[in-house]
Amino acid sequence: MTPAELFFDLVFVFVITQVTHAVETHPGWEGLLKGLFPMVVVWWMFSGFGWLTNAVRPDAVPVRLLLTLAMMGFFIMGLDVPYAFEPEGWAFPLAYLAVVAIHGLLYLTADAPSARQAILRNMPFNAAAGVLVLVAPHLPDAWGWVCWVAAVLILYLSPFLGRIRGFVIEPHHFVERHALLLLVALGESVVAIGIGAESSESHAVDAPLALGVALGVAVATGVWWVYFDGDEARAEAEFEKAAARRRQMLAYYAFTGAHLVMIIGVVLIAAGITDAIHHLGAHTNRWWLGCGTATFLTGHAIYRGLLGSGRIADRLVGALCAVPLGIAASVAGWVGMTVVVVILATVATIDHSLALRGTVTGIDGDTAAD
């Protein structure tokens, strides 16, 4: 992982912040989907740059310049997330199409001929999704939604339609890059604590606010601990064992796919933290914290299950408990955050304790050494 890649990934924090804000300000299914659909499209290309830097080192000056242009495109997309479904939101699809062009151009400089051929097979699907998103706001609402759904399906089915073989996958870099992307996304849950602490009337930190901030940090720490507790080393070891064809499919399912599920969970958790601190002693949104925690834990269970890198039962049990307990705990913000902290701490502690005893097992029953 190079400093250029880490710097590039920082723009993703802004995208996640914009999506979280869009979800918060328009609660309900329509607001949720209007926030998540643009993020799903952005994530596809952002993850694509993780695949790209497996094949093209970002050391040369022309590569860095093009990556800077791509950063500008992603930032513009982030700015336009709230307007992506509106005719005036034309900058979102145009910036997306510019990023697709930059991504394809950089891939064509790869040393591996198979990588160049692979991007030529898949680039038309990336561009077609951008055209659908560009057209969608100018159609009747129902057809606009059809265009967005079609765009997402084209992107996420394109590995099969365009054949995924040929892409260069280097396990260590790939695991590290996606882990750091998730860490960057987790930055939004920390930002959410500060946003939640803001109020219409500025005042010094008092006891209730201190409690809310402490619980928010505990929630963010729980999410971090569940993922970053030895998983990277085990995932890399399993990834390394896979044959080339299986490695490409694991890259798609476990990283592009399962990480998207986890990031959606982080967005909902961040929205829930902000809401909970704003309404520390009052009723909060019934769904955000519980459903966000369940989504994150389910995504991590999928990730582990695909790679065979650790236990998944405790994550699935935690996910099943999180939704009803989250709904029950929505009577007050501090109660909701406390429940989520307990769930995440229980999952992380059980897993950590078993790992220390050398009995962390995958879904196939094999022992996975730390």
Residues 6+ apart with CB under 8 A from 334: 211, 212, 215, 276, 280, 281
Output the pLDDT for position 346. Answer: 93
HSE at residue 304, side-chain half, CA atoms within 13 A, is: 29
Mean pLDDT of the chain: 87
User: Sorting pLDDT into bands at 50, 70 and 90, what band is 292?
Assistant: very high
Output the pLDDT for position 229. Answer: 81
More confident residue, 236 or 45: 45
Does 74 score more than 50 pLDDT?
A: yes
Does 269 score more than 90 pLDDT?
A: yes
Contact 316, 193 (CB under 8 A): no
φ, ψ dihedrals at 187, nearest 5°: -55, -30
Report pLDDT digits (tens) over 25-37. Answer: 888 888 899 999 9
Does 217 score more than 80 pLDDT?
A: yes
Q: Which of 49, 48, 24 is nearest to 36 (CA)?
A: 24
User: Sorting pLDDT into bands at 50, 70 and 90, what band is 45?
Assistant: very high
Does 185 score more than 90 pLDDT?
A: no
User: Sorting pLDDT into bands at 50, 70 and 90, what band is 361?
Assistant: very low
Contact 230, 150 (CB under 8 A): no
User: Sorting pLDDT into bands at 50, 70 and 90, what band is 19?
Assistant: very high
Does 203 score more than 60 pLDDT?
A: yes
Residues 6+ apart with CB under 8 A from 315: 226, 297, 298, 300, 301, 304, 347
User: Sorting pLDDT into bands at 50, 70 and 90, what band is 201?
Assistant: low
Output the pLDDT for position 266. Answer: 94
pLDDT > 90 fraction of the chain, expressed in percent and rounded = 50
* Lowest mean pLDDT segment, chosen from 63-67, 108-112, 262-266, 328-332: 108-112
- Tokens (6 digits) for 332: 């007050």
Report pLDDT digits (tens) over 106-155. Answer: 999 888 888 888 888 889 999 999 999 999 999 999 999 999 999 999 99
